Amino acid sequence: MASTAQHASKFQRFLNSETGPKTVHFWAPVFKWALVIAGINDLQRPVEKLSGTQQIALFATGAIWTRWAGFVIKPRNMLLASVNFFLGGVAGYQLIRIVNYRREAGDSPMQVFNYIVNGNPETTKKEEPAKN
């Protein structure tokens, strides 16, 4: 009976903790894993279909929030830090895929940067209205 009481107290501590399932500090990271899963699914997507600006935003979010959730904010939220670490990792890998794809196509580093920030230059030129 004593071991059951100890397990109940551990569960109660988890349930009532500052980052437990009764708080947004638990559920926000749980739902954020959907972004990581979507990023993993995008690994099968052709590189030319990836958005460079989206990957930069996801990488920056992952890097910044990993540091803040794991080391700065009180209470420390390791669940939030872990999901952001993986979010940044997946986005960083996608950025590497984009850079390698453009370098193999013969782009200079500046052209690669412009491609990531502005998208495909051929697509942008076709969408611009003709000047009279």
pTM equals: 0.74
pLDDT by residue for the chain (132 residues), tens digit each?
Answer: 455 555 567 878 777 777 777 777 678 888 899 999 999 999 999 999 999 999 999 999 999 999 998 889 888 888 889 999 999 999 999 999 999 999 999 999 999 999 999 886 654 444 445 555
Residue 81: per-residue pLDDT: 92
Q: Cis link prior to 121 (omega < 30° from 0)?
A: no
Burial of residue 95 (number of CB atoms within 10 Å: 0-12, 13-18, 19+) = middle
Residues 6+ apart with CB under 8 A from 10: none
What pLDDT is attached to residue 122?
A: 58
Say how many CA atoms lie within 13 Å of 41 toward its Cβ: 6
Terminal Cα-to-Cα distance of the chain (whole angstroms): 86
Report the sign of the C-alpha dihedral through residues 22, 23, 28, 29, in that order: negative
Dist CA 73 CA 120 (whole Å): 39
